């Protein structure tokens, strides 16, 4: 389970204009889980003393508890900048890592934990959360890779389907063209056969006509021959 560590109190030396009073009031409200009220009190402390790194840090804690992780992170960054104390700077970076982790900015949170550990190597909470964030990042990257692979496979399937559909359409078109060509060829063959059949009939009629003509000629020749013979048998007077 994720362990979160928060440094609540940085009272330090006396502050001018009563900022310590508001910090103490803010701490009491924070301990009672009145995080919104504690944030207001810490900001009042900042109104009294703009340079109060403790008020900045604690306001970051209050914002974190309200799940305002981005705003909390800004306060911890500011606290790290303002504080010179090594432990305070390390704690600011640690809580910055927590804020980034909760905002699912894993790579950034890992860097914050590493920088915190550079200042305070014995911070076990930082070591635990660093390992936790690194494990989450590996799982996230694995899921992203698996999703990318799935997307690529889906894309390939879609592309293959489009190609197969196109091939089927082309094949269907080729078959239709072939069918049309076959029908056209059949029609042409039929017409040619009809033309050939007509020509044959005409040829038969022509042959018949010739045969009849020849028969008529032969008949005429026979008649002429017979007439000649008859003429020859006539007697002269």
6: confidence class by pLDDT, cuts 50, 70, 90: very low
pLDDT of amino acid 94: 97
Residue 91 in any domain: the answer is yes
In a domain, 54, yes or no: yes
3: pLDDT strictly greater than 80: no
**Residue of 102, 78, 105 lying closest to 89 (CA atoms):** 78
Does residue 209 surpass a pLDDT of 50? yes
CATH number reported for the structural domain that contains residue 112 in this entry: 1.25.40.10
How would residue 199 be classed by pLDDT, with cut points 50, 70 and 90? low
| Model confidence pLDDT, tens digit, residues 119-143 | 999 999 999 999 999 999 999 999 9
User: Over 50: is that where the pLDDT of 167 sits?
Assistant: yes
Give the per-residue pLDDT at 236.
39
| Helix, strand or coil, per DSSP, at residue 6 | coil
Task: Give the range among 35-39, 73-77, 151-155, 201-205 with minimum mean pLDDT.
Answer: 201-205
47 falls within a domain: yes
Q: How far apart are CA 58 and CA 66, in angstroms?
A: 13
pLDDT at res. 15? 39
Report if residue 162 sits inside a domain: no
Number of domains in the chain: 1
221 within a domain of the structure (yes/no): no
* Angle at alpha carbon of residue 52, lines to 46 and 58, rounded to 5°: 80
Other CB atoms within a 10 A radius of the CB of residue 51 amount to 11
What residue numbers bound the domain in which 26 lies? Answer: 16-142
In a domain, 82, yes or no: yes
Task: With respect to residue 172, please indicate whether it lies within any of the assigned structural domains.
Answer: no
Please give the Cα distance from 2 to 20 (Å, whole number).
32
Which pLDDT does position 42 carry in this prediction?
Answer: 96
């Amino acid at each position: 389970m994720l362990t979160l560590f928060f440094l609540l109190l940085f009272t330090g030396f006396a502050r001018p204009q009563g900022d310590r009073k508001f910090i103490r009031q803010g701490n009491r409200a924070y301990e009672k889980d009145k995080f919104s009220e504690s944030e207001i009190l810490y900001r009042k402390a900042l109104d009294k003393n703009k340079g109060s790194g403790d008020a900045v840090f604690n306001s970051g804690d209050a914002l974190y508890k309200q799940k305002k992780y981005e705003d909390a992170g800004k306060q911890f960054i500011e606290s790290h900048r303002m504080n010179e104390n090594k432990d305070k700077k390390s704690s600011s970076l640690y809580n910055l890592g927590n804020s980034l982790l909760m905002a699912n900015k894993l790579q950034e949170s890992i860097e914050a934990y590493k920088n915190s550990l550079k200042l305070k190597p014995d911070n076990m909470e930082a070591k635990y959360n660093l390992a936790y964030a690194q494990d989450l990042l590996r799982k996230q990257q694995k899921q992203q890779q698996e999703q990318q692979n799935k997307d690529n496979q889906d894309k390939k399937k879609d592309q293959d389907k489009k190609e197969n559909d196109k091939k089927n359409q082309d094949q269907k078109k080729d078959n239709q063209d072939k069918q049309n060509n076959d029908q056209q060829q059949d029609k042409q063959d039929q017409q040619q056969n009809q033309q050939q059949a007509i020509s044959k009939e005409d040829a038969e009629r022509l042959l018949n006509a010739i045969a009849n003509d020849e028969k008529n000629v032969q008949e005429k020749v026979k008649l002429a021959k017979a007439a000649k013979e008859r003429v020859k048998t006539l007697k002269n007077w």
